[in-house]
Structure 1
Amino acid sequence: MTRAMGAASSAETDLFTIDQLASRSGISVRTIRFYAGKGLLPPPKLRGRLGLYGPDHLARLELISELTGLGFTLAAIEGFLVTLPESIAVEDLVLQRALLAPWIPERLETIDPEELDRRAGRALSEEELASMEALGVLERRPDGSILLHGAATLSSALASLDIGLPPHLLRRSHELISRHTTALAEDLMTMFQDEVLQPYRDRGRPVAERARLRELFTRLKPITVQGVVTAFGRAVNRTIRERYTDPG
């Protein structure tokens, strides 16, 4: 009897109000209610007229945040969450979050042109804006606002523009890098899917493997990114040697 009461008490301590959920997730109460209204969160548990939320709600909110950080639209997030069973365990949601967490953190911001000029330290010309858009640093929206893909990318883009290379050359460079890195990303994702994730699913998603997979992907990301940077540097060195070494 004591054990049962202890378990019930523990379950109660895992529940929190919407204000506490907002504090733990870093997402406003208004946004949480919006997500709930869109069906992205299951209904809270009711204690009288008070709605209480649990670890599963928190895990779903964290997953939604990761998807938002990856640039998913709300409709895409809805479509993804629909594929997850309502009874999915918190541990599985945490694993999903680990698999989907951005490999390179990107903070998407919506700002106005005046704020962009302020951050750039000067009034950007139409040609500069077009170049930055082609480089994937920003997107200009029909309402005049600008979707900025992170402060770090803005600094890098401004540095590229200040070098003085023709805008068309910057665009072509970006297109080349984007084409080859996209192919690399697709090949790597296919390999991870076929060699790691699918065997895990085929084994019935063993509980004992969840934590190991989560740690694997968390540690693998920075190692892979650094490996790509190192391999590219070596490839450039090799190309220089091959092109400019005097055969005589």
Structure 2
Amino acid sequence: MERQDGTTEALTDQLTVDQLAARAGVTVRTIRFYSTRGLLPPPTIGPRRVGRYGPEHLSRLALIEELQNQGMTLAAIERYLQRLPDDISAHDLAIHRAVVASWTPDTVDETTRGQLQSRVGRELTDDDLDRLEAMSVLAGTDDPDVFRVDPAMLQLGVRLLDVPISQEAILAAREVMLEHTRSAARELSRLFKREVWDPYREQESDPERLERMKSLSAHMQPMVVQALVTTFQRSMKEELREAFPQESAPQPDAEPEPAAPGRGPAPR
């Protein structure tokens, strides 16, 4: 079965509005409303003038959901999406969603196997579930048909199921990323404490202003995460150029530049 998870550009537009709504977990009315507001691009018009949707629409709906989870109003979400380029890929939308998801505390959803398969748009074999559990994407419960799922990691984990790389290599890459991101987080925390918090605490006696300064670290988290994503993308490009100097090495998608998306007609 060809994947329709909204995070791969190999998928052509082939979802009807009803299928898109079911896959994204929203109503058809919501999709049409978002389209009239310019939050979703127009669908591809297929036979019988039926609109067809693809990975970009799924990724945009997922990003909108994350922004709403942050408490953003629809007007604020519109302004956020207007800063994205017209031709932003489903891959870059997935990166934006991952950044936004990192702003909130970790959450875990409980879902049945059937609900999980509907959510990712594909059948999941027992081997698939075992691999997802090994990647810490999900965990079993006392009920063999119910799983505890990390929503921030789900789509990435499902995409990795079809990557022609051994499970051992994927887990090794995961350990490398965990090791270095933890190290970066540790050093940044130490830097903030040494250069910002400690000097401020020594000079400031007002308890309310101290509390406001303590909350600064939480407000800075989205900026730090975005900086890490951007830095990693650039570093990966440089490493690929060095590793494959005479070959056409696969390159990560270019970083999006601000632009205002066009407004499309409402889908059928």
- Normalization by structure 1: what TM-score? 0.48
Q: Which has the higher contact order (CA 8 A, sep 6+)?
A: 2
Name the structure with the higher helix share. 1
TM-score (norm 2): 0.45
